[in-house]
Structure 1
Amino acid sequence: MEVVAVNISSEKGVIKKPVDEITLIEDYGIDKDAHAGKWHRQVSLLAVESIEKMKKAGGENLDYGVFAENITTRGITLHTLKIGTKLKINEVVLEVTQIGKECHNSCQIKKIVGDCVMPREGIFTRVIKGGKIRPEDRIEIL
């Protein structure tokens, strides 16, 4: 179980771009990310396995961050985790607060492919303990 990519965007409604590392702030989210704040959806995660499904369905140009996920993972079936589950990446601790979300009508992926996995397979977390995360970091389920 590992981090494949870390992604941020400086404003809402813009595709997140992969970066070399992210800094997470306790009970706030990711430094310099538009979705950070004191709420329950501070950090979003989506598995590369979910992205691969969309690529096979016709979205071959889809890349990390396009689904607005902050952390792209490998080896965890994220949407089967229970609310309250804690994930540890380095010193960072994230708590799962929501599974999936309502897809907005202007979703570009849904327009291209006819479907989008983020509403069903993406998860949202809040930051319990901050720190730094980079691609290839190991993920532990606590």
Structure 2
Amino acid sequence: MGVIKAVCTSDIKGIQKTEQAVIELRPNWGIEGDAHAAPWHRQVSLLPYEQIEAFKNRGAEVGHGAFGENIIVEGFDLKSLPIGTRFVCNDVVLELTQIGKQCHAHCAIYHQMGDCIMPREGVFCKVIAGGTIAPGDLIEIA
């Protein structure tokens, strides 16, 4: 069992996301109002809270959404889970579609710290069943 620590969106790709009180997810689309929402395999990005905290302990000053992540989850080593893993949070069902990503243009965090965790720690999902997610909600592997 995991816990949602933060939910974040942006209406433009390639920038830091802004923390929200709640997000609305639509099946085969993603998060309402987020630039990555579309009928493709990377509708929602997840990043482990523990890795963000470890990165901050190395001297980085980063807030929620700084890596472009939509959902920060505590309790899972996301990158170790197999493709096809399903997460359930309230009525929402997410299916893991990609682990990590190639970073073509280094972000501001990379230029500040010489590293960015999203390419190796972040995972991507598509929305199977919609609903709402907010910080404090429990999330589990189905």
Q: TM-score, normalised by structure 2?
A: 0.96
Aligned to 1:44: 45
Aligned to 2:86: 86
Aligned to 1:26: 27
Structure 1 runs not aligned, ≥5 long: none
Aligned to 2:73: 73
Q: Which amino acid aligns with 2:100?
A: G
Q: What CA distance in whole angstroms lies between the structure 1 residues aligned with 2:43 and 2:63?
A: 21
Aligned to 1:10: 11
Aligned to 2:55: 54
Offset, 1:58: 2.1
Q: Given the alignment of the two structures, is residue 122 of structure 1 paired with residue 125 of structure 2, yes or no?
A: no
Q: Which amino acid aligns with 1:133?
A: I
> Does 42-51 or 97-106 show the bigger shift?
97-106
Offset, 1:46: 0.2
1:54–1:113 Cα contact (<8 Å) kept? no
Residues 3-37 of structure 1 deviation map (CA, whole Å, 9 limit, x = unaligned):
00000001112210000000000000000000000
The aligned length equals 141
Q: Secondary structure at the match of 1:97?
A: strand
Q: Structure 1 stretches (4+) deviating beyond 6 angstroms? A: none
1:101–1:120 Cα contact (<8 Å) kept? yes
Offset, 1:107: 1.0
Offset, 1:104: 2.8
Tell me the percent identity. 50
Q: Secondary structure at the match of 2:8?
A: strand
Offset, 1:132: 0.3
Q: TM-score, normalised by structure 1?
A: 0.96
Q: What CA RMSD, in Å, does the superposition of the two structures yield over aligned residues?
A: 0.8
Q: Which amino acid aligns with 1:12?
A: K
